[in-house]
Amino acid sequence: DAGVTQSPTHLIKTRGQQVTLRCSPISGHKSVSWYQQVLGQGPQFIFQYYEKEERGRGNFPDRFSARQFPNYSSELNVNALLLGDSALYLCASSLALLNTEAFFGQGTRLTVV
C-alpha cells in the first residue's frame, strides 16, 4: 500500500516567484495537513484540509494557500517567495480530522535563491 507521496522532491526557485507543491494521501485518508520544517526546527503547522474544506490554519502569511481536490489530493501554493521560505515542506494524511495516526510523506525540499 502506497504511503503519502509528495512531488517534486526538490525544487529551486528565485525570490518573488510562485511555487506549487503536491501531495497524495494514503488511500482512504480524507484529511491532509501541510507543515513547514526549517533546518534544525520541528515541523510547523500551515494548513489542515478535511473533506475538501480548510479546517485549520497556522500562523502563516496569506502568501500561503492550499486546496484539496475531490480525490483528496492536495496542493500547497506559495506566492512571492522569500529567502526565508526555504524549508522542507511536509504533507501528512490522516483518516479523519483528528491527527492521531497522521502519516507524513518524505517532503519537498524548497530552496529559494
User: Which residues here bind other proteins, judged by CB under 8 A?
Assistant: 4, 31, 33, 35, 40-46, 48, 50, 55-56, 58, 88, 90, 92, 97-107, 109
Residue 72's nearest CA partner among 101, 99, 52, 102 is 52
Q: How far is the CB of 2 from other proteins (least distance, A)?
A: 14
Q: How far is the CB of 83 from other proteins (least distance, A)?
A: 20
CB 5 within 8 A of CB 72: no
Q: How far is the CB of 16 from other proteins (least distance, A)?
A: 27
CB 47 within 8 A of CB 64: yes
